Amino acid sequence: MIASLTLALALAADPAVPPTQAEGQAFMKRLDADFRRLSVKQATADWVSKTYITVDTQRLVGWANEDLMEFLSRSVRESLRYGKTDLDPSSRRQLLMLRLVNEPPPAPADPTKRAELASIAARLTALYGEGKWCGKDGKGVCRDLGQLEEVMAESRDWEELVDAWAGWRTVARPMRPLYERMVGLSNEGAREIGFQDVGEQWRSGYDMPPEAFAAEIDRLWGELRPMYEQLHCYVRSRLQERYGKARVPDRGPIPAQLLGNMWSQSWENVYPLVVPYPGVGDTDVTAALVAGKWDATRMVKTGESFFTSMGLPPLPESFWTRSMLVKPRDREVICHASAWDIDYRSDLRVKMCIKPTEDDLVTVHHELGHNYYQRAYEGLPTLLQTGAHDGFHEAIGDALVLSITPDYMVKLGLLKSAAKDERAVVNAQMKKALEEVAFLPFSVLMDRWRWDVYAGRIAPDRYDASWWELAARYQGIVPPVPRSEADFDPGAKYHIASGVPYARYFLAGVLKFQFHRAMCRIAGDERPLHICSIQGSKEVGRRFGEMLAMGASKPWPDALEALSGERRMDPSAMLEYFAPLRAWLADRTRGQACGW
């Protein structure tokens, strides 16, 4: 399956004196207990460090990460002894997953280097969470990421957008030397457990050789790129109407600050500028949430009710007392939404700074998808308590989000009606595509950049230049102001600063529609995919729960087949979902100079 690991096993195992089966079983029992204990310790410290950002909490999470890193590197080396021991399939699967743990990153055996890596990882995350922009002279009103994101979402003033965009990226400049050192140390740790570099370790987690996985990403993106290029062409033409061709030229990339998002990764905030049929269809869910005085708890309770309508159990009571659902007033926190299972025993939590917006309501459903996945597989050994592959975890909640249709919003009282005429459908699909389709190239380039950084194909003196080369190639965007190697724009994204692999989000973008199509079929809903909803289907809940309970105990094609009957990731479901918009875009952009 993974050539480098197979070779490592062959070299490390002593054929003369292989461990006995009893010794192997004892090792597996000890491995599971120690991994669970240290993971709970690390998760607890990590939770505190992200919800109370101080020097002390950074130190605590650094120590916990260091302990887990030491355990993982030592256990991987020890596990190589059992290459020829007669172990059951579950144990074999656990040994594979042990080598693929990448959060925290693989660490060198040298204790000094390991401590340094743990400290750097904690510091990078803290720099991101503490980041503020206080104006060019440092004497202005200081704004955190959430406040700067509001500017990006709401402003249409060129200079104000540039200021917020460039201002946030100043927080990443101090990360640059730390990131370079982290790459070197984690690569050293990866080589010690049989990988060429960290990027190869990441690409090895998909039940196929790492080079085959890179080719799979290219295949999937190649099938979806024409749809993105259509959307890019149309959005650019509408932005030209607003800002002029001198600033948004024909056949050119789009200036990054104009797309309503700090990283140009989703464009739904520019929907008012690009709406195909203004005034057709009531789509302002955010206004309804504000008018209805929806608070964070009500939004999360609504998400929970979606899952329970399918026969799944309610969230544990501890979820409501231990989660962080709103931004505290008395301390610095990382608001980036995430779902947690602290103890692998249903200590489920969500960390968010929820606001009454449609985007946050959707995000709530997504994060609860993680929590329900975590709960479903909690009976498995700890190393198998994860997604079939990491894209599955991201896709689960998103697949259910596709059932948040206008009809669903009407049921919640957030829309007055669910207009079904063609113009309303195109408007709704445009709004969805600005989120889903626009995201695809960003989710590809994130790890393309890191794979090349870890492999040494991108040297530290080209970190920023190479980032923007990939952004131009994949997204068709350019920075609004000159950049240099004094900048570290990749670090302005949470997942770079915190070392979280990102290909999972691209895979989720494909799988969510594939899951949705499969669940619509199970529910017997034969309407077009963009209208279908599986809310309330107990049969979907049963089949869905069975797939979730598999965790990582089987190769991911087995899990995919359990729900869909298919064994290959298939972007055709996404293309089918957006069929009405694709037809409209083809007509609307006919004769235009598309591409960049």
- Please say if the pLDDT value at position 594 is more than 70: yes
Token couple for 520? 């619509």
Handedness of CA 428, 429, 431, 436 (dihedral sign): positive
> Is residue 286 helix, strand or coil?
helix
If pLDDT is split at 50, 70 and 90, which confidence band does 13 have?
very low
Kindly report the pTM of this predicted structure. 0.89
Nearest Cα to 519, choosing from 306, 355, 342? 306
Query: CA dihedral in degrees (358, 360, 361, 365; nearest 10)?
Result: 140
Gap between the Cα atoms of 305 and 536, Å rounded: 10
- Across the range 542-562, mean pLDDT stands at 96
The alpha-helical segments, DSSP class H, found in 381-481 are 390-401, 406-411, 422-455, 463-470
- Across the range 353-362, mean pLDDT stands at 94
Gap between the Cα atoms of 379 and 32, Å rounded: 12
- Across the range 276-280, mean pLDDT stands at 91
Averaged pLDDT of the chain: 93
pLDDT of residue 273: 97
Instruction: List the catalytic residue out of 367, 376, 463, 577.
Output: 367
If pLDDT is split at 50, 70 and 90, which confidence band does 12 have?
very low
pLDDT of residue 419: 66
- Across the range 563-575, mean pLDDT stands at 97
pLDDT per position as a tens digit, 21-71: 999 999 999 999 999 999 999 999 999 999 999 999 989 998 998 999 899
Instruction: List the catalytic residue out of 393, 495, 516, 530.
Output: 495
- Across the range 218-226, mean pLDDT stands at 98
If pLDDT is split at 50, 70 and 90, which confidence band does 8 have?
very low
Strand partners, 207: none
Instruction: List the catalytic residue out of 116, 304, 332, 394.
Output: 394
Number of H helices, E strands in the chain: 25, 6
Is 495 catalytic? The answer is yes
DSSP codes of every residue in 539-557: HHHHHHHHHHHTTTSS-HH
pLDDT per position as a tens digit, 224-259: 999 999 999 999 999 999 999 999 999 999 999 999
Range 194-197 contact pairs with CB under 8 angstroms and sequence separation of 24 or more: 194/4, 194/5, 194/7, 194/8, 194/76, 194/99, 195/4, 195/5, 195/106, 196/4, 196/455, 197/454, 197/455, 197/456
Is 336 catalytic? The answer is yes
If pLDDT is split at 50, 70 and 90, which confidence band does 16 have?
low
- Specify whether the CB–CB gap between 543 and 550 falls below 8 A: no
Domain segments of the chain as ranges: 3-125+176-204, 285-421+503-566
Range 150-153 contact pairs with CB under 8 angstroms and sequence separation of 24 or more: 152/257, 152/260, 152/261, 152/262, 152/269, 153/260, 153/261, 153/269
> Helices 21-51 & 111-130, crossing angle to 10 degrees?
30
pLDDT per position as a tens digit, 510-521: 999 999 999 999
pLDDT per position as a tens digit, 97-142: 999 988 888 999 999 999 999 999 999 999 998 999 999 878 889 9
- Specify whether the CB–CB gap between 88 and 40 falls below 8 A: no
- Please say if the pLDDT value at position 551 is more than 50: yes
If pLDDT is split at 50, 70 and 90, which confidence band does 348 have?
very high
pLDDT per position as a tens digit, 163-182: 999 999 999 999 999 999 99
Instruction: List the catalytic residue out of 13, 287, 337, 472.
Output: 337
Half-sphere exposure of 577 (CA within 13 A, CB side): 31
Query: CA dihedral in degrees (111, 117, 122, 125; nearest 10)?
Result: -170
- Please say if the pLDDT value at position 7 is more than 90: no
Report the share of the chain in percent with pLDDT over 70.
97
More confident residue, 243 or 2: 243
Instruction: Identify the residue whose tokens are 């950074």.
Output: 58
Nearest Cα to 415, choosing from 535, 527, 529, 291? 291
Instruction: List the catalytic residue out of 336, 365, 516, 530.
Output: 336
Range of lowest pLDDT (29-43, 336-350, 403-417): 403-417
Instruction: List the catalytic residue out of 232, 365, 370, 389.
Output: 370
pLDDT of residue 282: 65
Angle, vertex CA 100, rays to CA 90 and CA 121, nearest 5: 140
- Please say if the pLDDT value at position 593 is more than 90: no
Nearest Cα to 530, choosing from 573, 594, 466, 471? 573
Instruction: Identify the residue whose tokens are 């003196």.
Output: 461
pLDDT of residue 500: 93
pLDDT of residue 406: 84
Instruction: List the catalytic residue out of 179, 505, 530, 562.
Output: 505
Is 367 catalytic? The answer is yes
- Could you tell me how many residues make up the chain? 596
The amino acid at 427: N
Instruction: List the catalytic residue out of 107, 166, 365, 366.
Output: 366
Is 116 catalytic? The answer is no
If pLDDT is split at 50, 70 and 90, which confidence band does 9 have?
very low
Nearest Cα to 370, choosing from 378, 382, 380? 378
